[in-house]
Amino acid sequence: MSAIRRLLLIENHLSSQFPNAPQEKGLDDFRKLESKVNHNVLAKHYFDDFYEANLYTRKIIDESPLFTHQESLGSSVEDYRGKVVEQLKCIYSKFRMSYEKDLNDPIYKCGPIYGMAEYDQSLSTRMIVHIILYTDTIQNLGTGKHRELIDRAYALKDYGSFGMTELGHGSDVGRLETTATYNPKTGGFTLNSPTATSAKWWIGAIANTANMSVIFARLIVDNADKGIQVFAVPIRDYETHDTLPGVVLGDCGKKISHDGIDNGFILFKNYEIGYDCLLDKFSQIKNGKFKSTIKNKEKRLGIMMAGLIRGRFCAVSGSEINTRSCLTIAIRYGALRKQFGNPKEESILLYQTHNCRLVTGLSKAVAMRCASKVISNMYKAVKPISDLNPECDELNEFHSVLSSLKCVCAWYGIAVSQECREACGGHGVSEYSSLGRHRGYVDVHATWEGDNAVLGQQTGKYILKILQKSFKGQKFTSPTLSFLKIDFQEVKSFKSLFTSREEFENEKCIIALLEHRVNFLTHTSVIKLQESSMAYSDMTTAWNNSQVFYIQDLSKSFAELIMAREFIKLSDNIYKDCKETGMIIKKLFYLYSADRILNSISLYLESAITHVQEKIIRDTFIKLASELAPASLQIVDALAASDKILGSVIGSSDGQAYSRMINAVESEPKCYYKPKWLHLIKDIRGS
């Protein structure tokens, strides 16, 4: 905090114009409503893989004066970005990353990113761009000679960026326009941006920071288009930080969030690069001829994008973090805020509409954390296999799970964070509540690392292929889909038999329902596709016209099944350590499931359940939301970072929302202030 700001703050404290606030009741009373959540047990199982790294990152942030949200709120974009660079250094330097460590533990790198995202997603994104998108691309596509680049990246000697998207093309990577023309004389390449739309766009760290970039470009050899290849190229002079000749770097300008990242554009004008810039693990130029070990063009393109794998993982974690932050604020505020009630004023969180919004939101946040766990575990298992064979079944399966989880988590986050904003009423609109900031973070997850509407199709394609293979009796490895039924008649004959809340609240019963949904949508999607392929001349159009109600829903239902399975594991593991906490997380799982089943109710009513059973689910849903309202505060308390990290005056752990709000407002230099345009007020009179 600047000295002036600090002074103002102190002065304002002393000279506050407000009546002395009596010590607010805060959250103590509400906390007493439910005391059975063991915070430690819950946090350990919840954060799991990230537990240690996250504790450590939180500690760094809590102890360093570099981190103050209040200051960022008041500073210019330029200063803010500089601050983020300092913060990045502060945390990164404590983790001593290296290529070796990454090979040993593929989750290690993501640990500090998780903690950074709790504080500020601009900060974590800066890290992701460099150490995941840039570095992973080289790790995945480079060869021995690129090892130095990798080491430089881990040592932060180079600061890298990921140059894929262009002004004119994002999702459709196959149509990027930047060219890399092979020059047989020099053996190198010339990069060019032939059109305005070919400008690389949105590239994180380009406007101010990066000296390196991995550039996705169309390789031209001997006038022939060989498709997209990736090149690791310097873009700024290492010493002077000047943009290199032949390169243009600029700032993409104002964004609706994430001001701390310097997204920019890149243009190339006959920019010459050496042969070794080509990341040549799978494709090379030998004797002037292009060669690739991956024959299928589409597959090759997919492999080029492998740098996005852990990027997507971070989008899932990011969604969970942003959502949990919003919930921490809204649930705490919902507990301390009282409005109406007769005769005593009631915490708004105890209203049915309110807990149905927020406690259900919390169940989704936990499901999102489960999504991250699934990805972690699958990635650890798949990485060694796919390193040997990038076309293996396991990677395809992982890719389809990851894609659908990324979509669903981003969409959950967007919906829940909006609920949280609304749940805080007017104070949710104040910047000091931080809800706008966290909601702004989560929004972009639907777009980057693969746009949701596009990504969902990939999962759908995978599942339908697996069904096709099953039909044909072909061999394949896909444990996540082992429940898939070949016979649609059998699917349609499924009936869930629960007759009461007690029978519904049963893991087997719920998983059967969720598996049924995937089975049902798989078969109806196939039928829809067949219909469409008769109605339209080409398969692409048929595919595009089988999305709504079918393939998109299939992808989502698959993701939710995966999350539900992991949710059960989580609750079982917690139960082993603390029965009472485990039971609460189980209840949260039932709430999550009830909500998800009601969300597809017409599918279920078609054959699997009756209207009477639907009523049971509804009642269960409402009762669980209400019963869990007291526990919800304990849960967010157990998982929340410090007040300093969360940075919300209405969501702080002591529940002193009003005095903190007054404080924040009175600390602004212009709180009591006459604007310079007072003459305008006289001006408008009598007009």
Adjacent-strand bridge partners of 266: 200, 249
Q: Angle, to 10 degrees, between the axis of helix 629-639 and the axis of helix 308-336?
A: 130
245 binding a copy of itself? (CB under 8 A)? no
Give the count of beta carbons closer than 10 Å to the beta carbon of residue 80: 18
88 binding ligand FAD? (CB under 6 A)? no
Residues 404, 462: Cα–Cα separation, whole Å:
11
Q: Are strands 188-192 and 179-183 parallel, antiparallel or unpaired?
A: antiparallel
Label residue 640 exposed, middle or buried (CB < 10 Å: 0-12, 13-18, 19+). buried
Dig out the tokens for 65 from the structure: 């004066």
In the window 90-149, what residues touch ligand FAD (CB under 6 A)?
A: 129
- Alpha-carbon Rg for the chain in angstroms: 27
Among 109, 146, 169, 485, binds a copy of itself (CB under 8 A): 169
Question: Which residues belong to the annotated binding site?
Answer: 165, 204
Q: Please choose which of ligand FAD, a copy of itself, none residue 104 contacts, taking the beta carbon within 5 to 8 angstroms, the exact cut-off set by kind.
A: none
166 is catalytic: no
Q: Please choose which of ligand FAD, a copy of itself, none residue 388 contacts, taking the beta carbon within 5 to 8 angstroms, the exact cut-off set by kind.
A: none
Inter-residue contact 460 to 375 (CB < 8 Å): no
Q: Which stretch binds a copy of itself (CB under 8 A): 136-144, 156-164, 399-407, 508-516?
A: 156-164
Among 47, 162, 411, 567, binds ligand FAD (CB under 6 A): 162
Closest CA to 245 of 223, 261, 269: 269
86 binding a copy of itself? (CB under 8 A)? yes
Dig out the tokens for 548 from the structure: 């709504």
To 5 degrees, how large is the angle CA 172–CA 273–CA 263?
50
Q: Which stretch binds ligand FAD (CB under 6 A): 87-95, 364-372, 450-458, 460-468?
A: 450-458
Q: Is the peptide bond before 234 cis (omega within 30 degrees of 0)?
A: no
Among 444, 554, 591, 639, binds ligand FAD (CB under 6 A): 444
Inter-residue contact 157 to 343 (CB < 8 Å): no
Which of these is catalytic: 397, 449, 505, 666? 449
Residues 400, 420: Cα–Cα separation, whole Å:
30
Residues 48, 376: Cα–Cα separation, whole Å:
10
For residue 512, report the phi and psi dihedrals to the nearest 5 degrees. -60, -40
For residue 333, report the phi and psi dihedrals to the nearest 5 degrees. -65, -40
Counting every residue written for the chain, the total comes to 687
Residues 567, 569: Cα–Cα separation, whole Å:
5
Residues 182, 275: Cα–Cα separation, whole Å:
9
Q: Please choose which of ligand FAD, a copy of itself, none residue 224 contacts, taking the beta carbon within 5 to 8 angstroms, the exact cut-off set by kind.
A: none
In the window 409-428, what residues touch ligand FAD (CB under 6 A)?
A: 422-423, 425-427
535 binding a copy of itself? (CB under 8 A)? no
Q: Angle, to 10 degrees, between the axis of helix 507-535 and the axis of helix 552-577?
A: 170
Q: Please choose which of ligand FAD, a copy of itself, none residue 369 contacts, taking the beta carbon within 5 to 8 angstroms, the exact cut-off set by kind.
A: none
Nearest approach, Cβ of residue 473 and a copy of itself (Å): 31
Residues 157, 194: Cα–Cα separation, whole Å:
31
Q: Which stretch binds a copy of itself (CB under 8 A): 303-311, 347-355, 573-581, 632-640?
A: 347-355
363 binding a copy of itself? (CB under 8 A)? no
Among 99, 351, 488, 536, binds a copy of itself (CB under 8 A): 351
Q: Which residue is nearest to ligand FAD (CB)?
A: 170
Q: Please choose which of a copy of itself, ligand FAD, none residue 506 contacts, taking the beta carbon within 5 to 8 angstroms, the exact cut-off set by kind.
A: none
In the window 94-153, what residues touch a copy of itself (CB under 8 A)?
A: none
Among 171, 293, 477, 499, binds ligand FAD (CB under 6 A): 171
618 binding a copy of itself? (CB under 8 A)? yes
Nearest approach, Cβ of residue 614 and a copy of itself (Å): 6
Nearest approach, Cβ of residue 463 and ligand FAD (Å): 18
What type of residue sits at position 313?
F
Q: Please choose which of a copy of itself, ligand FAD, none residue 203 contacts, taking the beta carbon within 5 to 8 angstroms, the exact cut-off set by kind.
A: ligand FAD
In the window 348-377, what residues touch ligand FAD (CB under 6 A)?
A: 348, 351, 353-354
Residues 635, 628: Cα–Cα separation, whole Å:
10
201 binding a copy of itself? (CB under 8 A)? yes
Q: Please choose which of a copy of itself, ligand FAD, none residue 45 contacts, taking the beta carbon within 5 to 8 angstroms, the exact cut-off set by kind.
A: none
Binding residues for ligand FAD, rule: CB under 6 A, are: 129, 162-165, 170-171, 202-204, 255, 258, 263, 337, 339-340, 348, 351, 353-354, 422-423, 425-427, 429, 444, 447-448, 451, 453-454
Residues identified as active-site: 449
